[in-house]
Amino acid sequence: MALSLFTKNKKAIIERAQDDYATKMRLKYKPYYHAVDSQQGTHIRLQGRDMVMLSSNDYLGLSFHPKVIEACGAGARTWGSSTTGARISNGTRAYHVDLEEKLAAFLGREACHISVAGYVSCVSAVATFAQKGDMILADKNLHSCLWDGVRLSMASLERFSHNNPEDLRQILKNIPHSQTKMLVIEGVYSMEGHICQLPELAQIGEDAGCFTVLDDAHGFGVLGRQGRGTADHFKLNDKVDILCGSMSKSLASTGGFVSGSRELIEYLRTNSKQTLFSAAISPSMAAAASASLDIMQTEPQHLERLWRNTKRYREMLKGLGLDTWGSETPAVPIVLGSKELVYRFWQALLEKGVFTVMSIAPAVPPGKDLIRTAVSALHSDEDLEKIAAAMAYAVKQM
C-alpha cells in the first residue's frame, strides 16, 4: 500500500516532464541546443555549413586572442585543471586573489569575489545582502539570475516598469523611509540592449535610502573607460553599492564577480551559500579572464572596433526598417512580435549562413518576441556584408 503511494507520487513528476509542452515543441522544431562542429572566431561550422555567429556575447572578440588562449593553457599547466574545492576550504589559490585584486582595482572598488558563473555571482549579489523583512525594488526586465536572488532572499518585492525612474519614484512614495530597501538594476539589459538610466534611478534610490545592486554583465567591457562598465560610463561608481557581472562575455571566459567595499565582500564570503558551497573557478578560466582584463587595458582597438561594428550593424538594420527596441549597445534585438514571425526570420537567416538565437515570450514580454543578436569586435567587414545580405533576404520572407 505504502509502496504504491510512493510510486504514484514519483509518477506525477515523471509525467510532468513527459507532458511538458515547451519541451515537446523544442524537440519538434529544434531551435535551440545546436552543437557547433567547429569554430574559428566569428565563423562556425554547423551541420556541414559555414556560418557567421551573430549571437555570442564575445563583445571584444577576445575568445580567440592568442594571449588569452596561451593564458588558458598556462593556467592549467601551472595549477592543474581544477582546485576541486570551495574557496572557504581547500579551493583558494593565489591566482584567485590576484584576479580579484586586479578586477577590483579596474572597477574602482575595494574588493571583489569571483565565482564559477555570472549566474552564481549575481544570485549571491542579491540573496546575500537582502533578507526577510527587507523590500526589493526591481526593474521588471531583470535577468533570471537576479529574480532567483530575489526569491532566495525572502525579501518582499516591488517591480517597477522597465528602466522607468518615474515609476520607481511613485512606488517609493508608498514605502516608509525606515523600511530597509534594495534597488536591483542592470547596467545594460541583455535582451533589449538598453543602457540603464542610472543617473535618475540611482538618485531616486539614494534619496529613498536604497542599497543599490547593479548587474553589469553586458555593460562591462562595452561601456566606460577601457570597458569599466555602466557605472564608470556615467561616472557614478559611488552610487552603486554592489556591482556584479559575468566573465563569460567581454572577458571571454566563464565565471562571475561581485565587487564592493571590503566589508561587504567579506560579509558575502561568510554568508553567501553560493560562495560557501560551490567549488572555486578553475585555473584556466581565471587565467583567460585575467589575460582579457590586461588586453582591455593595453589594446584599445577591440573596443573601438566593437563600436564601429555596432554602429554599422544598427544602421544596416534601420535601413531595412527593422525594430531594434531602441538598443543603444552591441546587444541588438530584432523585435518581430510573434513566435511564428521570429521562427521564419531565424530560419531565413540560417539559410543564408547567419546564426542567431530566438527569444520568445515568456522569456521576453508578450508581443516582444525577438531574434537576439550581438555584435563582436571580431566581425570583419566581410562578415557584416554577409549579415546584411542575410537580413535583407529574411525581411523579404516576412
Ligand X SMILES: Cc1ncc(COP(=O)(O)O)c(C=O)c1O
Judged by the rule CB under 6 A, the positions of this chain that interact with ligand X are 117-119, 122, 143, 145, 186, 190, 215, 217-218, 246, 248, 256
Distances (CA, A) of 84 to 94, 183, 231, 301, 380: 15, 35, 34, 37, 40
Nearby residues of 151 by Cβ (< 8 Å), 6 or more positions away: none
DSSP letter at 81 equals S
C-alpha to C-alpha distance for 390 and 107, rounded to whole angstroms: 39
Name the residue nearer to ligand X (CB basis): 246 or 250: 246
The burial class, CB within 10 Å (0-12 / 13-18 / 19+), for 374 is buried
C-alpha to C-alpha distance for 121 and 113, rounded to whole angstroms: 8
Least Cβ distance, residue 397 to ligand X (angstroms): 29
C-alpha to C-alpha distance for 17 and 46, rounded to whole angstroms: 29
C-alpha to C-alpha distance for 356 and 363, rounded to whole angstroms: 16
DSSP letter at 235 equals T
Least Cβ distance, residue 118 to ligand X (angstroms): 2
Name the residue nearer to ligand X (CB basis): 205 or 219: 219
CA angle centred on 305, ends 334 and 342, rounded to 5°: 10
Least Cβ distance, residue 9 to ligand X (angstroms): 33
C-alpha to C-alpha distance for 42 and 329, rounded to whole angstroms: 19
DSSP letter at 85 equals S
Q: Would the CA dihedral through 253, 256, 262, 268 be positive or negative?
A: negative
Sheet strands (E) in 252-362: 256-260, 331-335, 354-355, 357-359
Name the residue nearer to ligand X (CB basis): 42 or 57: 57
Name the residue nearer to ligand X (CB basis): 306 or 348: 306
Name the residue nearer to ligand X (CB basis): 224 or 384: 224
C-alpha to C-alpha distance for 139 and 161, rounded to whole angstroms: 6
Least Cβ distance, residue 244 to ligand X (angstroms): 8
Name the residue nearer to ligand X (CB basis): 217 or 354: 217
Name the residue nearer to ligand X (CB basis): 242 or 388: 242
C-alpha to C-alpha distance for 210 and 279, rounded to whole angstroms: 32
DSSP letter at 239 equals G
Least Cβ distance, residue 184 to ligand X (angstroms): 11
C-alpha 240, offset from chain centre: 18
Three-state DSSP state, 272: coil
| CB-nearest residue to ligand X | 118
Name the residue nearer to ligand X (CB basis): 124 or 190: 190
Least Cβ distance, residue 141 to ligand X (angstroms): 10
Least Cβ distance, residue 188 to ligand X (angstroms): 8
Least Cβ distance, residue 249 to ligand X (angstroms): 7
Q: Which three cell numbers stand for residue 13?
A: 513528476
Name the residue nearer to ligand X (CB basis): 331 or 354: 331
Least Cβ distance, residue 144 to ligand X (angstroms): 8
Name the residue nearer to ligand X (CB basis): 107 or 391: 107
DSSP letter at 89 equals I
Least Cβ distance, residue 102 to ligand X (angstroms): 18
